[in-house]
Structures are given as C-alpha cells and as structure tokens.
Amino acid sequence: MRRTWLIFSQAVTVAVAVLFVVATLKPEWLRRPPGSVIPTITITETPVLLNQDHAPGSLAPAAKRASPSVVNIATSKAPVGNPHLNDPWFRFFFGDPADDQPQTGLGSGVIVAPEGYLLTNNHVIEGADDIEVSLVDGRKASAQVVGTDPETDLAVLKIDLPDLPAISFGNVAALQVGDVVLAIGNPFGVGQTVTSGIVSALGRNQLGINTFENFIQTDAAINPGNSGGALVDVAGNLMGINTAIYSRSGGSMGIGFAIPANTARQVMESLIRDGRVTRGWIGVEPQDLTPELAQTFNLPIREGVLITGVLQGGPAQQAGIRPGDVVLAVADQAVGNTAQLLNAVAALRPDSLATLSIQRGEQRTTVQVRVGQRPSVAPAARSR
C-alpha cells in the first residue's frame, strides 16, 4: 500500500511539472478548440451617474438655481433745483442752465418670499423717488419700500408679480472658511453676472461700514452694482447679501463683504412685522480695552470693553455703571471688543433685565440693567 501511494505521488508530481513546462513553453497546446463554451462571470458594480448637462465640478447647477431669484434694481431721484433759477440777475450772468436730469443708480436685490418681498442694501435705494425691479425672465415692476435698517445697511422691498422665484435660505452656522461661494448681481449695469470664490473669513467687524457688523468676507468678485445681490453656496442657497468691497480703484480687489443671511432674515422679519428693527440699548460710550489702558487703570485683565462715558439717566447709569468700568460679559455672553458689546446689547429685548459682568478696579462684580430701546440713528453717508 505504501509503495502504491509513493508511485501515485511521484506520478502526480511529474504530471504537474510537465503541465508547467508545456504552459510556459507551448501555451498554444492548451488553448480551447473552436466551438468550446467559455464560462462567464457577472461583476456587479454601482454605476457612476454623470451629470450629462454639466461637467464634473461645475457650479452651473447652483447658479441656475439661484440666479432667477436675483434681480436688478434701478433707482431714480428727482434733481435738486437751484434756488437762484428764478432770479433774473442770476440768469443774466449765468444763462439758462440745461434741463436737470434725474439722478439714477443701479444695484441688485434678492427675492426671498413668493409674496414679493425682496432684500437689498439700504444704500442702494436710499433717497430714491422711484424704484424699478427687473427679473431675469424680463418682467419689470415698481417696488415699494417696506422698511429700512441703516445700521445694518439692509432694506426690504415688495413687488406685485405672480410666480416669483424665491431663494432658499442656507445654514450660515455651518459655513466655514474655505467653502466655495458664488456672488450673483449686476456689476456696473452690464447684466446679471455670476462670480465664484471662497469664504475668506467669518465674523469680520470694526470695518467702519455699518454700526452692526458681522461680515462674511469672500474673494468672489464683487463690483459696484453687486450691492444687494446674493452670496450663495454650491447648492444655490442664500448665505449672505453682498454689501461692500475693499478697493483702491473702485473695482474688485478680492476682498468683498456680505451680510450673513441669518442677520438679514432677522432684520427682514422685524421690518415686515413692525416696520422697524427693535434693539436693546443701555446708554454707554464703549472703547476697546488695550494693554496700555489696562496698565493705566491698574486692571488685572487684558480683554473687555472699557466704558468711557455713561448717559445721564440712561439704563446703565441707573444700574450703577460708572466710567472706568470694564464690561466682560452681557447675559453670560463674553464680550472682548466694542462690536461684540454692541451686538450683545442689541440682541437684548427692551424692558428686560440683563446681567452684566464688569471689572471695577481689582474687583469683579455683576449688575442688573433694565434694558432700554435703542434710538433710531440717521444713516451716515458711506462710499462703497
């Protein structure tokens, strides 16, 4: 039995060796004859569905979705007549002036509700006697001003047209530096234009543009005429209202600013509901706390907002706040600069009680302030 097994093993080994040699030197001897059946193997894969309308990575779908909601706004303002035109001596020396033409301006806006509400910048329509809105589909309509908020440079308009393409608001809280965004508007009046870029920074403030600042900074090209237009994400959702640029030439230099859509929405809802924006106010003159000021006042802190003045009879004075105090927090929200203090106080409901954490010399304490209502502020002339 053992001998038989040994002979079988040797035979198998020799056969395998011969097969290997033949497969290596004469592989054609092992090919299947014509007409033989070859087994098939089915491989299941998840098909890759390519967008047949747009190239991979194209931003066209976002532009196509958002563009119909962005409108062109044309404004006109009656010319200011010269008070001396009726003076015969003035006419004798200077002659009859040519007919004055109305002042015109161009900007952009965003349809945010099918009922006809639009968001734009206050400086786009400020002082206008006539406002005409032009849609991408060619329709035009006169717009009525629902309300304005110069302190955030926002305005709400209303037009009366059917089937308006309202834009969708995006989640601004999820926006990150580096996200791709599109700026849509009507630069220089050439017609609707879409530019792309990224979010360069978030929470930009202390720029001296508005009273309340919390800008999205982007390098998407924004030029004169883009003001009031839309800043959208790659899904075509509204992330901001394009407002201003940093420029030495008047054109885009890669630094543009947009008001976050959540801020714009809050302002819009207040203007539609109440006709104005109601904000908290405590009646103080704030200043950023610098290391030099902290050393001068012998303060053990290096961050906060120094109170340099207190309005007589105002909420802060009635609560016992004095010049020289440093505000550290408002309603448990830390404040490190003047812009943060203004935003935190503005968010408080008038006639409510708010707790302020302050540093007074070497002592830290809290005070209860009865919040007042922020007085209306006349808009300041701005260059954008």
Classify residue 213: in a domain, yes or no.
Answer: yes
Which residues are CB-neighbours of 78 under 8 A, at least 6 positions away?
A: 102, 103, 129
Active site residues: 123, 153, 227
Number of domains in the chain: 3
Q: How far apart are CA 309 and CA 324, in angstroms?
A: 8
251 and 198 in one domain?
yes
194 and 239 in one domain?
yes
**Single-letter residue type at 261:** A
Classify residue 5: in a domain, yes or no.
Answer: no
312 and 228 in one domain?
no
Q: Exposed, middle or buried, 230 (CB in 10 Å: 0-12/13-18/19+)?
A: buried
**Single-letter residue type at 284:** V
255 and 327 in one domain?
no
251 and 185 in one domain?
yes
Least confident of 45-54, 80-89, 192-201, 283-292: 45-54
| Cα-Cα-Cα-Cα dihedral sign, residues 205, 63, 225, 220 | positive
Q: pLDDT for 59-78, tens place per residue? A: 899 999 999 999 999 988 77
Classify residue 232: in a domain, yes or no.
Answer: yes
Please, are residues 286 and 268 in contact by the beta-carbon 8 Å criterion?
Answer: no
pLDDT level of residue 337 (50, 70, 90 thresholds) = confident
Classify residue 202: in a domain, yes or no.
Answer: yes
Q: How far apart are CA 196 and CA 46, in angstroms?
A: 32
Q: Could you say which DSSP state residue 373 is in? A: E
User: What pLDDT is recorded for position 253?
Assistant: 72
Q: pLDDT for 243-284, tens place per residue? A: 987 766 666 677 889 999 999 998 999 899 888 888 899 999
Please, are residues 306 and 333 in contact by the beta-carbon 8 Å criterion?
Answer: no
Flag whether pLDDT at 384 surpasses 50.
no
Tell me how far the alpha carbon of residue 46 is from its chain's centroid. Answer: 38
| Cα-Cα-Cα-Cα dihedral sign, residues 340, 344, 347, 349 | negative
Single out the residue in 274, 296, 324 at which a domain terminates: 274
The whole domain housing 75 covers 69-158
Q: pLDDT for 338-353, tens place per residue? A: 888 888 898 888 999 9
Q: Exposed, middle or buried, 90 (CB in 10 Å: 0-12/13-18/19+)?
A: middle
368 and 287 in one domain?
yes
Q: How far apart are CA 338 and CA 200, in angstroms?
A: 23
